[in-house]
Structure 1
Amino acid sequence: MASSTENVKLGVCNVLFDGVDLGFTKGGVEVEVATSTKEITVDQMGETPIGEVIMGRTVSANVPLAETTLDNLVAIMPGSELISDGAYATGTVTFSTAAPVDGDKITLAGVDFTFKTTPVGQNDMAIPATIGAAATALAAKINANAINFTATVVNAVVTIKAKNRGVDGNVTVSKTAVTAANITTTNLTGGVNATKAQVKVSNGVNINLLKLAKTLVLRPKGTSGEDDFTIHKAMCPGALNFAYQFDNERVFSAAFKGYALDSGQLFSLGDVTATA
């Protein structure tokens, strides 16, 4: 493979945990992959190894969060509870009767997500075979986009939720469908501005971090998924590093640790939608 200067890359990353952008960082995000091995020896060869076996591999990411919001605190602090009089806006996109066709489009807060026979744009999606696949594709695009919403899927219904509490999340969801009955939408509503909030933090004893683990994506700034570092199951025990000084930022020290999937997969580097 020929060398190319384009393969030499610099720059910071955005951090998405369970599809939510955790915001600005301070001091750089660092990833460590460690592999432990066991050397095989026999008496006749003394201490010279005749082989070596991998015993395990770990992955961790240190994410110093500069946006010390209550939402971020709850995201990284197991055993915490946010109490607020604010509310998130939610809405839905439902696929029914048949899968989308070329040109079917969903517009969320002015951002278009379009099904295309030949996807070209960042928010274009390939024509799916089923309505369930359509819902999954749309949710993935919304979560990968740098807009202030997250999406989850149940069957062929995509539920969209604003990332932040407040009336700013009450936005329009519309469709442009070749066959009108294939797609129905409801606007995001229910967002209420918070007037007061607090986070209560317990001692965390006996909390199972694996049960709380979610997908952690480190996405280099200015990219759209092709260079992602993805830990498929990640969680952190929670740590704070507050400096109440005029010349130091307060930081949430989020030390994420990865856990293997049932298949043994630990992390991915690159576009997770790539297939053989």
Structure 2
Amino acid sequence: MPTDKDTIHLGACKVTFDINGTPLVLDSTKGGVKFMYEETTKELNRDQTGDTPVDEVVIGRKVSLEVPMTRKDLEALALVLPGSEKVGTARVDVYANKVISLLDYAKTVTVEPLAENTTDDDMITIYNAAPRAKLNYTYDYNNELVTDVTFKGYPDADGKLVGFGDPTAV
């Protein structure tokens, strides 16, 4: 039986965005990686019970992962800015005149805690997540340059949204 000590984990994590078998590993962050899961529900009512619900059903689920990455290189930037284009090795261009589907950029994202006692059971996998970046750089001596990337989850072809635990379990 696990003790309280065994079920409490602190610390940083490593996020991997799997781009067609080529992983982008985001293991340098500042401010904490935040995972959010939210359900939307609908209360079911009957005339006979007035405003008292007789049931409530889940009608939707949303999942997202906020990653404040400090890794600043053009390769990583091109991968987290959907619709951008890497020009040679020295520039990333972002176009304002392109309308793009984020689903076209959705790939598997995994969160792997780095605390000493964590196992594969502590991992989180978003099966189909697309990046959306927010760049707000402050150039001074007291701040790191942080690129805020939010991975928004979408159901995969089988309808799976998120998995908690060992991603290799069968």
TM-score, normalized by length of structure 2?
0.89
Corresponding residue for 1:13? 13
Q: 1:34 aligns with which of 34, 38, 46?
A: 38
Equivalent residue of 1:236, what SS? Answer: strand
**Is residue 238–residue 254 contact of structure 1 (8 Å, CA) maintained in 2?**
yes
Equivalent residue of 2:76, what SS? Answer: helix
**Is residue 77–residue 239 contact of structure 1 (8 Å, CA) maintained in 2?**
no
Q: 2:142 aligns with which of 247, 256, 273?
A: 247
Corresponding residue for 2:155? 260
In the aligned structure 2, how far is the partner of 1:52 from the partner of 1:68? 45
How far residue 76 of structure 1 moved from its aligned partner, in angstroms, is 0.8
Q: Deviations over 1:52-102 (max 9, x none)?
A: 1110101001100111111121111011111225xxxxxxxxxxxxxxxxx
* Structure 1 unaligned spans of 5+: 86-196
In the aligned structure 2, how far is the partner of 1:16 from the partner of 1:204? 30
**Is residue 24–residue 76 contact of structure 2 (8 Å, CA) maintained in 1?**
no
Amino acid at match of 2:137: F
Equivalent residue of 1:61, what SS? Answer: strand
In the aligned structure 1, how far is the partner of 2:147 from the partner of 2:85? 16
Quickly say closer, same or farther: Cα 1:224–1:201, change in 2 above 3 A. farther
Equivalent residue of 1:237, what SS? Answer: strand
Q: 2:99 aligns with which of 206, 214, 232?
A: 206
Equivalent residue of 1:6, what SS? Answer: helix
Equivalent residue of 2:133, what SS? Answer: coil
Corresponding residue for 1:219? 112
How far residue 3 of structure 1 moved from its aligned partner, in angstroms, is 4.2
Quickly say closer, same or farther: Cα 1:83–1:224, change in 2 above 3 A. farther
Aligned Cα root-mean-square deviation (Å): 1.7
In the aligned structure 1, how far is the partner of 2:25 from the partner of 2:2? 36
How far residue 239 of structure 1 moved from its aligned partner, in angstroms, is 1.6
How far residue 243 of structure 1 moved from its aligned partner, in angstroms, is 0.7
Using the aligned pairs only, state the percent identity.
Answer: 40
In the aligned structure 2, how far is the partner of 1:243 from the partner of 1:55? 41
Equivalent residue of 1:44, what SS? Answer: helix
How far residue 5 of structure 1 moved from its aligned partner, in angstroms, is 1.9
List aligned pairs for 1:99-248, cutoff 5 A: 197-203=90-96, 205-221=98-114, 225-248=120-143
How far residue 11 of structure 1 moved from its aligned partner, in angstroms, is 1.0
Quickly say closer, same or farther: Cα 1:204–1:227, change in 2 above 3 A. farther
Amino acid at match of 2:42: K
How far residue 226 of structure 1 moved from its aligned partner, in angstroms, is 3.6
**Is residue 13–residue 27 contact of structure 2 (8 Å, CA) maintained in 1?**
no
In the aligned structure 1, how far is the partner of 2:146 from the partner of 2:46? 51
